[in-house]
Amino acid sequence: MAATSRSLTIPCPVCREVNDVLAVRCSACGAFIRDRVPTLNFFTTLWNICETPVEGLIRVIRSEQKNYVYVLFSLGGLFAAVVTASLSRAGETSLHPAVLFAALYVLGLPGGIILGTVFSFVLDILIRRGRIRRIPFRTVSAVAAWSFAPYSVMSAFLVPVLFALFGKHLFAWDPGPWSLKPGPFWVVSTLLGAAVLASFLLTARGVSLLGVGVQRAVASVFGALVIALLLVAGASVCVTLLVV
């Protein structure tokens, strides 16, 4: 992650002028350097980001529709809802397991959209002074959403698995899921942790492609992530007050 978009260039196929990697037309002759990207295919883009992160993120930045942003944000909200319910110890209340499971989706999906939007907004503020060009907020949110796609997709797959394994104990501390079935718990936790780390690094790389220095990009993503975690902690306090 040493290079930024300042060192990533692409030559014009007509006049050989060196252009910024995000450019669509040549700055010298006006010829098209890259094809237009009207929309993004979900699975193709996800695969590209995992296989060739820079090319995948460049395609996201250059896309015209920026589609699936809120889908990815909502999926990421599922595990955030699990963390919220666990911190509030909702599994130790009299609520039926089916109610808790339904609440993960009823509250987690829209909550993920709110959390992702706030994360993008804070990220946009933090990197604003470090940019070398004006970047729309929708581009910043697209970079955030697609960079966190590994975490969001992992969250969508593993949350039902976690609930099937632990039931209400997934949201309890006494006994907690780590003591009931430590093997599965730590395997799933490791997978989610790896997905979060990969998503963090991808987001920092994506922000650097917007013309922000690498150190500032890492610091900005970290700061936005801290704010998002504080929101989750705040939501946990509210849930605790409601269910107690």
Confidence of residue 132 (pLDDT cuts 50, 70, 90): low
Residues 22/34, Cβ–Cβ less than 8 Å: no
**Is the confidence at residue 92, as pLDDT, over 50?**
yes
Which residue, among 51, 83, 228, has the nearest Cα to 155 in the 3D structure? 83
- pLDDT over 90, % of the chain: 48
| Confidence check: pLDDT of 1 > 70 | no
* Residue of 179 and 34 predicted with greater confidence: 179
Q: Pick the closest to residue 1 from 151, 202, 145 (CA basis).
A: 202
Stated as kind and residue range, the H or E segment containing 19 is strand 18-20
The pLDDT of residue 69? 95
Q: Are 35 and 27 in contact (CB under 8 A)?
A: no
- pLDDT grade, residue 25 (50/70/90)? confident
The whole-angstrom separation of Cα 18 and Cα 25 is 11
Q: How confident is the model at residue 243 (pLDDT cuts 50, 70, 90)?
A: low
**Which residues, including other chains, have CB under 8 Å from residue 112's CB and lie 6 or more apart?**
73, 74, 75, 76, 77, 78, 80, 81, 152
Contacts of residue 26, Cβ cutoff 8 Å, sequence gap at least 6: 12, 14, 15, 17, 19, 32, 33
- DSSP E strand stretches across 22-145: none
Query: pLDDT-derived band of residue 187, with 50, 70 and 90 as boundaries?
Result: very high
